[in-house]
Amino acid sequence: MNEKQEIVTIQIGNYSNFIGSHYWNIQEENYQYCKREQIPFEIQPSMLFRSNDSSNENGIKFTPRLLLFDFKNNFGSMNSEGRVYKQTNNNNSNNNEFSSNQKVTKILKNTSGKPIDRNNSGIDNSKVDFEYWSDYLNIDYNGKGLISIPDSLLTTNSGNSINSNINESGANEWNGLLYEDGIELLESNYELTDQYQDTLRKIIEECDCFSGFQCFIDSDGIWGGISTSVLLHLQDEYSSRAVSVFSSSQYSESIDNKQEEAIDERIYNNARLMQSLVGESSDSLANLFVPISCQNWWSSSRHRLLGSNILKTKYQTSAEIAASIDTSTLYYRSNYQDQNLSSFINHLSSTSNRRISILSSSFPLNTEKMGFIYRYHQNEPKFPNEPLYRHSMMNYLSPVIENIDSTQCNPLNEIISIRGINLFGDEQIQKNDLFQLENDYSIISNLFKNYLVNSYNNFGNGKPILNRNICNINQPFKMKQNHFPILINSNNNNNNNNNNNNNNTNNGHIENSDTIITHLQNSNLISSYLKKISVGFKEITETKKLKRLIIDKDSFLETLEDLNYLFDGYSE
Amino acid sequence: MLSMIKQAGTPSDSRRGQALLLNISAGKGLQSVLKSNLGPRGTLKMLVSGGGDIKLTKDGKVLLHEMQIQHPTAALIARTATAQDDITGDGTTTNVITIGELLKQSERYLSENIHPRIIAEGFELAKERVLKFLDEFKKEEDTLDRELLMSIARTSLRTKLTAELADQLTEQVVDALLLIHREDKPLDLFMVETMTMQHRTDGQSQLIKGLVLDHGARHPDMPKRLTNCFVLTCNVSLEYEKTEVNANFLYKDHQTRSRMIDGEHKLVAQKCRQIIELKNHVCNTPDKNFVVINQKGIDPICLDMFAKAGIFAVRRAKRRNMERLTLACGGTAMNSLEDLTPDCLGHADLVYEQTLGEEKYTFVEGVQNPFSCTILIKGPNKHTIEQIKDALRDGLRAAKNTIEDKCVIPGGGAFQIAAYADLMKFKETVTGRTKLGIQAFADALLVVPKTLAENSGFDPMDTIIKLQEEYAKGHIVGLDVISGEPMDPFNEGIFDQYSVLKQVYRSSPIIASQLLLIDEIIKAGKGMKGSSVPEGPE
């Protein structure tokens, strides 16, 4: 008996929508895979998707239960019904001539975006830098859940017209907007607030057994503020429901170049976001908070982030994040584990001052390279020497992780999710048998448990782990060619002295990418991030480095206190 | 600090006037875009989004909201105009074209080397005078008169929709407002809900003296149509909820597990039984029925229990509808079911559900105190619905303004003609170059009747002179957009709203004179890369 537990997804911000597009493409592929191979669903599709009324003559159509926020300009060629508008003729260059005299307004916009071309195998889509997330989205969204923020609203800020920036560079990386602007934007715009709250209510009205929200949010610019407003509403209206937040920030060149103002802005926005979502004074806006970034904000440490040294496009980086999130949330989405979103959250964050977790992930995974050697009929499995959290093949998706080798920090709670692992070598077994599947599950999770216990005992500080869960599914992470960028394990390449770089990408490396291990942990590793954020925040407010910032002494102290409170929770 | 300020062009004196010209041309540009949409005979604009969505509109506010405005000055003007809409709900286009015209008129004098400051002073004087004149010109009326309100609403709606559609909506707008109007209480437009239905042809909109909820019962066995109903509005969760703390189910086999789930569900079922008991208690004769409207969720098991008891139940009602429900049907909204008594129940004569494609609607009609009502817009396609919805909003605001102003202004450009004449008289009393500013202001006033004439296909100069001649004879005249001849706005029932005009003539001179006084545009901050401020010749 699998009770259908509906989950509503909320995507706030442009980069999160890039992640979201990949995420939904992955879901679609998961579904298609089971259909194709005629095997039972290992991932429950009805959890995330809604169906329209079956009385419709076109048959049932599935769309995600999704509430999405973005600027109107960033929707690209997606129309208000959630479909991507495919243009047939490319002869629209003449359209520009229609723009009105004196360049005050642009009346006729030409179709924006260049939708992905999947059938042309000559183009390697992972090299393309897509401007809009709708360009490569493979499914239809539900038009009602799309909340577009008119660009004209942005001009209400502080006099200078910031919207011109956004026009020029699509979704620009750094536009000088702060957390407060987002709060103000929703507060001052009644219609927008009404629209999203009503939409959300309708989405939830459809659910029979509604379990919680998973939110992908941007921490940059105004999105942090908008997220706070939205989550406040959730708390207000749907208080008992679980809320998990994956907060990400996109790749920014100015941060790689150590441009101070850009870093300051990011620190400020993140500090405010964290304070309002998981701080002491905020009740429980987010039950679980996972900060994600595709680049290091500060000094680069040994643990490079996924792909960030290879391809830095939004298309590529967001794909890596999406794949990791997809795997790491198997805990509540897999069909063979009777868990739901709230137990997932409870599992990871047992106390109220430790609600931040970090995510690391590894793909494509070569189990033998990682140190796993196991044959089905041999009883002596071989394990890697390193514990998982400091294994060189695991890539962290957090803004900064430091001193991973010197400190001994066993995570307090952890969830390891594995998909598509193949430990059996050639001895492929028929996977159609349900009993066999469950049997395999337990073999793999026992194997991993052994490995984790042993390695933690050898390396860790001896503290026992409060909660551990290993969930795995057999279904590999397989995307059709050109539907998804090629994922490359950056550490892998470094080990090979970059000789095989080209070979890896060109031939046959794709088959390896169907195994993913992700590791969600609530551990003290995050403390370096918290420390930096709180030091940075203090510095910003004391030296008044951000010019636009109007510092309210009380709220500044409160934020600082909250950040310290969080930091205390993660340092013994 | 200096590095943060980058000048838009070369810092030579020859560029002094350039910023001014830039601002004026922006004002004029925006004016020329919106000009053609003014008045009942103005043309439409089609907005096409990147995704191929089409929107047809002539509503200035909608246009300014959706258009991509690149020029910073134009954006500034657009913001003033949308602020106008936020306050009064109408007059956006008038505002934009007045600002544009003020700038255009002053350009003439500026080219003759009159200092902008002098013109700005003239504007200030003229503004005071016009506002004073507006107070003299207004006509106090009993604004609760249905006929008068009809005229007001018609004037507003006809500028946005076709006459046929507008006339039908007019009645609904006025009826809706009179319905919710109560002595000594400010009008709350939230009490008029607009619902949309994609259905049949337009011109089928209806006013429902009750409520329409945009969702229906989620159980196939529930009755679809009930008469003589008791209505229970409540905010009680009727769902089996997972416990927050780290608690787990431990079970050995399937039967134990389902038994445990049943146990968990018992509490919720208890609540349901309480409601059903109440139903059995009050519905003592078979002609009485029972409806539950819940703000929180109801899970399938509870729905099933309700369906078996013949109760119609909807879940997740809109929060605002909860207020309106209790207001309309009587009774109180229950936050807990402990002290459930028959007194808490409201009453409605008819509750029925209607399904349209994917959507379900629940109608609650025949309520005791219809202090809240719903206007149901039906249209064949999305863009028509959008158009009607925008117009309806303006119509409601127009009627509301009038009720609150307790006075009307004759429309069709009548005020502008009269104010022009008044300013001319005023000009004589002023000495010095400030006069020129007043003259410019007066000329700019005439842009409204001029544009009206132009949009109706008449020669603007001709028409204005005809109107002025007629006014000189001592009549109050407006422009008849059909014949192009002067007409009496009172006879024709064409009225403007006092608060709209007041707002227009208060805000537009301010922004215009501010723009006039700008002598340089300077880029500030390095975040402004890719700015649209045009670069001067290096």
* A102 near B CB under 8 A: yes
- Within 8 A of B248 by CB-CB distance, chain A residues are 343
Task: Determine what percent of chain B falls in helix, strand and coil, rounding each to the nearest 5.
Answer: 50, 15, 30
Structure ipTM? 0.77
Peptide bond into A364 cis (omega under 30): yes
Q: The CATH number of the domain where B273 resides is what?
A: 3.50.7.10
CB A517 within 8 A of CB A556: no
CB B372 within 8 A of CB B193: yes
* Higher-pLDDT residue of B537, B41: B41
B70/A103 touch (CB, cutoff 8 Å), yes or no: yes
Q: Distance, in angstroms, between A238 CA and closest chain B CA?
A: 8
* A544 near B CB under 8 A: no
Q: Is residue B54 part of a domain?
A: yes
Give the torsion through C-alpha atoms of A298, A303, A306, A312, to 10 deg: 40
> Which residue of A79, A152, A209 is in closest CB contact with B53?
A79
Residues B220 and B335 in one domain: yes
Is B281's pLDDT higher than 60? yes
User: Measured between alpha carbons, how far is A95 from A74 in angstroms, rounded to an integer?
Assistant: 20
A164/B531 touch (CB, cutoff 8 Å), yes or no: yes
Q: What is the pLDDT of residue A106?
A: 44
- Within 8 A of A237 by CB-CB distance, chain B residues are 319
Residues B83 and B227 in one domain: no
Q: What tens-digit pLDDT sequence spans chain A (572 residues)?
A: 345 678 999 999 989 999 999 999 988 888 888 888 777 777 777 888 887 654 455 567 788 899 999 888 788 778 777 777 665 444 343 343 333 344 444 444 444 556 666 666 566 666 677 788 888 888 888 888 888 887 766 544 333 333 333 333 333 434 567 888 888 888 888 888 988 999 999 889 888 888 889 999 998 888 999 999 999 998 888 877 888 999 988 877 777 777 777 888 888 888 889 888 888 766 678 888 999 887 777 655 544 555 445 567 788 888 888 888 988 888 888 876 677 788 888 888 777 778 888 888 876 666 667 777 766 656 667 777 777 777 777 778 887 777 666 666 777 888 888 887 766 554 455 555 556 666 777 777 888 888 888 777 776 555 667 778 888 787 778 777 677 777 665 444 444 333 333 333 333 333 445 788 888 888 888 888 888 888 888 888 887 766 666 667 778 888 888 888 888 888 76
Residues B223 and B348 in one domain: yes
pLDDT band at B327 (very low <50, low <70, confident <90, very high): confident
Span B251-263, pLDDT tens digits: 555 666 667 667 7
Residues B455 and B346 in one domain: no
Q: Distance, in angstroms, between B493 CA and closest chain A CA?
A: 32
Instruction: Give chain B's length.
Output: 538
* A106 near B CB under 8 A: yes
Span B333-361, pLDDT tens digits: 888 888 888 888 888 999 999 887 777 88
* Higher-pLDDT residue of A369, B169: B169
Q: Is residue B395 part of a domain?
A: no
Q: What is the pLDDT of residue A456?
A: 76
Q: Where are the alpha helices (DSSP H) in B347-446?
A: 382-405, 414-429, 434-445
* B87 near A CB under 8 A: no
Identity at A376, one-letter amino acid code: Y
DSSP at A160:
S
A77/B246 touch (CB, cutoff 8 Å), yes or no: no
Residues B57, B73, B92, B326: which is the catalytic one? B92
Q: Is residue B196 part of a domain?
A: no
CB A213 within 8 A of CB A242: yes
Q: What is the pLDDT of residue A50?
A: 82
Residues B32 and B119 in one domain: yes
> Which residue of B245, B316, B532 is in closest CB contact with A164?
B532
**Residue owning tokens 């208890």:** B270
Residues B73, B80, B88, B93: which is the catalytic one? B93
User: Measured between alpha carbons, how far is B32 from B447 in angstroms, rounded to an integer?
Assistant: 12
Active-site residue, B394 included: yes
Q: What distance lies between CA A344 and its chain's CA centroid?
A: 16
Residues B359 and B462 in one domain: no
Q: Model's pTM, two decimal places?
A: 0.81
Closest Cα to residue A250, out of A291, A293, A217?
Answer: A293
Between chain A and chain B, the number of residue pairs with CB atoms below 8 A apart is 166
Closest Cα to residue B336, out of B279, B382, B275, B396?
Answer: B275
Span B358-381, pLDDT tens digits: 778 899 988 887 778 888 888 888
Q: What distance lies between CA B337 and its chain's CA centroid?
A: 39
Active-site residue, B488 included: no
> Which residue of B48, B248, B258 is in closest CB contact with A109?
B48
Q: Which of A104, A195, A548 to mutate to test the interface with B (most CBs of B within 10 A)?
A: A104
Span B125-165, pLDDT tens digits: 999 999 999 999 988 877 778 888 888 888 888 888 888 88
Q: Which domains are present in chain A?
A: 6-348 (3.40.50.1440), 363-524 (no CATH)
Q: Is residue B162 part of a domain?
A: no
* A202 near B CB under 8 A: yes
User: HEC profile for B448-469?
Assistant: HHHHHHHHCCCCHHHHHHHHHH
Q: What is the mean pLDDT of chain B?
A: 83
Q: Distance, in angstroms, between B186 CA and closest chain A CA?
A: 19
Q: Distance, in angstroms, between B421 CA and closest chain A CA?
A: 34
Q: Is residue B434 part of a domain?
A: yes
Question: Phi and psi of B134, rounded to 5°?
Answer: -60, -40
* Structure-token pair, residue B151: 């005229």
By three-state DSSP, how is residue A284 classified?
coil
Half-sphere exposure at residue A15, Cβ-oriented, CA atoms within 13 angstroms: 29
**Residue partners of B162: CB distance under 8 A and separation at least 6:** none
Span B199-245, pLDDT tens digits: 766 567 888 888 888 888 888 888 888 999 999 999 888 887 654 44
User: Measured between alpha carbons, how far is B166 from B173 in angstroms, rounded to an integer?
Assistant: 10
> Which residue of A102, A107, A175 is in closest CB contact with B25?
A102
Q: How many domains does chain B have?
A: 2
Active-site residue, B59 included: yes
Q: Which of residues 177-206 of B touch A (CB under 8 A)?
A: none
Q: Is residue B194 part of a domain?
A: no
Q: The CATH number of the domain where B420 resides is what?
A: 1.10.560.10
The share of chain B scoring above pLDDT 70, in percent, equals 88
Q: Which of B25, B316, B361 to mutate to test the interface with A (most CBs of A within 10 A)?
A: B316
DSSP at A424:
S
A53/B357 touch (CB, cutoff 8 Å), yes or no: yes
Q: Is residue B82 part of a domain?
A: yes
User: Measured between alpha carbons, how far is B257 from B169 in angstroms, rounded to an integer?
Assistant: 58
Peptide bond into A381 cis (omega under 30): no
Active-site residue, B73 included: no
Residues B248 and B353 in one domain: yes
Residues B238 and B320 in one domain: yes
Query: The domain containing residue B311 runs over which residues?
Result: 210-369
> Which residue of A103, A155, A160 is in closest CB contact with B528?
A160
Residues B222 and B353 in one domain: yes
* A114 near B CB under 8 A: no
B68/A109 touch (CB, cutoff 8 Å), yes or no: yes
Residues B363 and B452 in one domain: no
Residues B268 and B330 in one domain: yes
Question: Phi and psi of A176, rounded to 5°?
Answer: 75, 15
* B318 near A CB under 8 A: yes
Q: Is residue B250 part of a domain?
A: yes
A96 bridge partner residues: none
User: Measured between alpha carbons, how far is A188 from A203 in angstroms, rounded to an integer?
Assistant: 24
DSSP at A459:
H
Residues B360 and B414 in one domain: no
B248/A343 touch (CB, cutoff 8 Å), yes or no: yes
> Which residue of A53, A156, A161 is in closest CB contact with B358?
A53
